[in-house]
């Protein structure tokens, strides 16, 4: 395996970063996770646009243009054998001479790091045999700018750990009685036959998978609405799904130890999962 650091591809144990890097000291950076199927990066332009936005929101100059990013990511995928994997990409503000909360003046060179990880075969790839996953609800303890894909993931990490300790795959987060998102995913429910997901705002990450699911539902004429979901609507949902780039669309069959709907992956999920997988296969030549 090869990773990328500041202009070079190398073995992971050859990669060295200064302890003064603001990513290490302050979690001062942003990231992206981009899946590749059959060696083809999936929804690359959308991920890159979100990266641009995250960088702009925290005032880091984008070190590469889209064509350079494309070529770096393609090379990294090729260096790691192609196939199905995800690209993790992180940019920090860089290493300053002195530890100071305020940004270094003049700006220092951002640190760019990329690596790949294998992706597990998602549930959506085989809708008829999918088992479904468990989720619990937790209070959303995160900050007020969850729309920025920040590497500061301590709250997300603590929340996911609580879910794992409860035997669940994901924590669905509630803020002021309404669903925001999962600890590392967006949330959909089916309510009276309509597919509902919370609107994008500062409290949630604008998921690339979320956007694609909404897009596919619209294209297929399935009823879909971007609307707030209250805690009681979540508990009464006919179906609950969580979405992310690496897990695609996961049906949640139990919430806080109570069955969701029939307690099995639902019919609407199966329909949407099929559309998602067909779209992916067409795009990536699978
Ligand atoms: N919300 C959060 C907090 C996440 O960490 C993720 C995955 N990184 C998502 C939503 C899903 O986003 P995407 O579909 O772009 O992977």
Pull the structure tokens for residue 54: 């995250």
Q: Quick check: 7 pLDDT over 80?
A: yes
Q: What is the pLDDT of residue 122?
A: 79
| Centre of ligand 1 from the C-alpha of residue 210, in Å | 9
Residue of the CA atom closest to atom 3 of ligand 1: 184
Binding site membership of 208 for ligand 1 (Cβ less than 6 Å): yes
Query: 163 to each of 139, 229, 247, how far by Cα in Å?
Result: 12, 21, 16
pLDDT tens digit sequence for 69-89 = 999 999 999 999 999 999 999
Q: Is 149 a catalytic residue?
A: yes
Which of 185, 204, 276 best tests ligand 1's pocket when mutated (most atoms within 8 Å of CB)?
Answer: 185
Residue 40: beta bridge partners? Answer: 37
pLDDT tens for 192-214 read 999 999 999 999 999 999 999 99
**pLDDT for the residue 120:** 82
pLDDT for 173-182, tens place per residue?
Answer: 999 999 999 9
Handedness of CA 111, 117, 120, 124 (dihedral sign): positive
Tokens of 121: 């075969």
Distance CA 244, CA 208 (A): 8
pLDDT at position 181, please?
Answer: 98
Q: How far is the CA of 182 from the centre of ligand 1 (A)?
A: 8
For ligand 1, say whether the CB of 184 is within 6 Å of any of its atoms. yes
ipTM: 0.99
CB-CB contact of 7 with 110 (8 Å):
no
What residue's CA is closest to ligand 1, atom 4?
Answer: 184
**Residue 186 Cβ < 6 Å to ligand 1:** yes
Residue 252 CA to residue 256 CA, distance in Å, equals 11
Backbone angles phi, psi at 201, to 5 degrees: -160, -175
Helix (H) or strand (E) segment spanning residue 109: none
Give the DSSP letter of residue 257. T
pLDDT-above-70 percentage for the chain: 100
The rounded Å distance from CA 2 to ligand 1 centre is: 25
- The answer to whether the pTM exceeds 0.90 is yes
- Taking the centre of ligand 1 as the mean of its atom positions, its distance from the CA of residue 153, in whole angstroms, is 12
For ligand 1, whether the C-beta of 21 sits within 6 Å is: no
Q: How many whole angstroms separate alpha carbon 63 and alpha carbon 93? A: 11
Q: In the numeric block, which tokens belong to residue 77?
A: 């995928």
Domains along the chain with CATH numbers: 3-119 (3.30.470.10), 124-284 (3.20.10.10)
pLDDT over 90 (residue 266): yes
Please tell me if the CB atom of residue 133 comes closer than 6 angstroms to any atom of ligand 1. no
Ligand 1 atom with the shortest distance to the CA of 211: 14
Q: What is the mean pLDDT of residues 47-69?
A: 98
CA dihedral sign of residues 5, 16, 57, 211: positive
pLDDT over 80 (residue 121):
no
Structure confidence at residue 126 (pLDDT): 87
Helix (H) or strand (E) holding 54: helix 44-58
* Four-point Cα dihedral 204, 207, 210, 212, nearest 10: 150
Give 3-state DSSP helix, strand, coil % of the chain, rounded to 5. Answer: 30, 30, 40
pLDDT of 285 > 90? The answer is no
Using CA atoms of 92, 75, 40, 88 in order, give the dihedral in degrees to the nearest 10. Answer: -20
The angle formed by the CA atoms of residues 151, 166 and 120, to the nearest 5 degrees, is 55
Mean pLDDT score across all residues of the chain: 97
What residue owns the CA closest to ligand 1's atom 12? 207
Per-residue model confidence (pLDDT) at position 74 = 98
Q: Is the pLDDT of residue 48 over 90?
A: yes
DSSP class of residue 104 equals: P
């Amino acid at each position: 395996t090869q990773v990328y650091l500041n202009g070079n591809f190398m073995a992971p144990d050859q990669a060295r970063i200064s302890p003064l890097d603001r990513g290490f000291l302050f979690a001062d950076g942003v990231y992206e996770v981009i899946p590749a199927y059959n060696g083809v990066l999936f929804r690359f332009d959308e991920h890159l646009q979100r990266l641009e936005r995250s960088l702009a929101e925290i005032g880091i100059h984008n070190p590469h243009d889209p064509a350079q990013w494309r070529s770096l990511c393609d090379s990294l995928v090729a260096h790691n054998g192609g196939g199905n994997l995800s690209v993790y990409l992180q940019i920090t503000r860089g290493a300053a001479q002195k530890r100071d909360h305020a940004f270094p003046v003049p700006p220092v060179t951002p640190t760019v790091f990329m690596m790949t990880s294998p992706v597990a075969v998602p549930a959506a790839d085989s809708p008829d045999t999918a088992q479904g996953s468990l989720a619990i609800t937790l209070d959303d303890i995160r900050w007020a700018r969850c729309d920025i894909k920040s590497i500061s993931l301590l709250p997300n990490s603590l929340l996911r750990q609580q879910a794992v300790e409860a035997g669940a795959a994901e924590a669905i987060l509630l803020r002021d009685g309404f669903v925001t998102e999962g600890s590392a995913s967006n949330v959909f429910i089916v309510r009276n036959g309509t597919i509902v997901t919370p609107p994008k705002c500062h409290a949630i990450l604008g998921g690339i998978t979320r956007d694609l699911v909404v897009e596919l539902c619209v294209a297929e004429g399935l009823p879909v609405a971007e609307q707030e979901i209250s805690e009681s609507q979540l508990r009464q949902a006919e179906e609950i799904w969580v979405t992310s780039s690496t897990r695609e669309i996961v049906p949640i069959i139990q919430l806080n130890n109570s069955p969701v709907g029939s307690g099995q992956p639902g019919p609407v999920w199966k329909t949407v999962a099929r559309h998602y997988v067909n779209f992916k296969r067409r795009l990536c030549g699978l």
